[in-house]
Amino acid sequence: MTQEALLLSRLQFVWVIAWHILLPTFTVGLASFIAFMEGLYFVTRRETYLRILSFWTKIFSVSFAMGVLSIIVMLRVSVFNARKSLYQDRHSHYFDSNKFALRIQSGEVT
């Protein structure tokens, strides 16, 4: 892997991790706020609290979904890279073209 590709993959991972940290944190705090607003609406029966609750519930839903998607992307990239490195460790002689070419010439690989 070239240095540029390595840097880009690390930047992508940092971007995904940053969103995964921010979105669940925001969602947990927002859940507490929504519960508090629902309690206020239950006690006072004022429509203002119901409108506030409805607005923030939509934002909560989007934030929760994006947090779930970020963990799916993060796990998929991590598992793919781990499998790739395990495969390369076990079969490193196939990835070194000079050694592989010598094995073909010597008749070890058909």
CA angle 95, 83, 104 (to 5 degrees): 20
> Whole domain around residue 78: which residue ranges?
3-106
What local confidence, expressed as pLDDT, does residue 5 receive? 80
Q: Please state the domain count of the chain.
A: 1
More confident residue, 52 or 2: 52
d(CA 24, CA 74) in angstroms, rounded, equals 14
Residues 6 or more apart in contact with residue 95 via CB below 8 angstroms: 88
pLDDT at 39: 96
93 touches 100 (CB < 8 A): yes
pLDDT at 50 exceeding the cut of 70? yes
Is residue 67 predicted with pLDDT exceeding 60? yes
Cβ neighbours for 12, distance < 8 A, ≥ 6 positions apart = 77
